[in-house]
Amino acid sequence: MQKLESLYPEAEIITVVLDNLNTHNASSFYETFDVREAARLADRFNFVYTPKSASWLNMIEIEFSALSRQCLNRCISSISKLSNEVIAYFKERSKKAIKIDWQFSRETARKKLNKYYTKVNSEKKKLLLHGI
């Protein structure tokens, strides 16, 4: 997070979208840094969480799981070697054109998420009626 922060020195608040893993919150700053640094970082970040019931949104989690099982499941002696291994792993996956078997269709999404569309559309309608 310190590195991410350094990439956006002008930003007052940095919004980060995360899943609901128990370590993905500002309390982790206090477990890692002294109180001043933890408080400073906590004030810089706004955490937005993906819904717990929407694991299908976390396609990157599938990639991390594959990486972990197929590449990182052993002792790697240095950061340099780790970097080389991960790059080689993704080059190989890219070369093989490995894809995720997406089974969540647009139709299924509409059925499952219709209650959210209704809510969003009614809010949008209210704003339009008020000229906003």
Q: For the residues of 71-93, what is the DSSP string, one character each?
A: TSSS----HHHHHHHHHHHHHHH
- Give this prediction's pTM: 0.43
Tell me if 44 sits within 8 A of 74, measured CB to CB.
no
Tell me if 38 sits within 8 A of 29, measured CB to CB.
yes
Over the stretch 43-102, which tens digit does the pLDDT of each residue have? 999 888 776 665 555 677 778 888 899 888 889 999 999 999 999 998 998 899 877 776
Domain ranges of the chain: 1-54, 58-101, 104-132
Over the stretch 16-51, which tens digit does the pLDDT of each residue have? 887 766 666 788 888 999 999 999 999 999 888 776
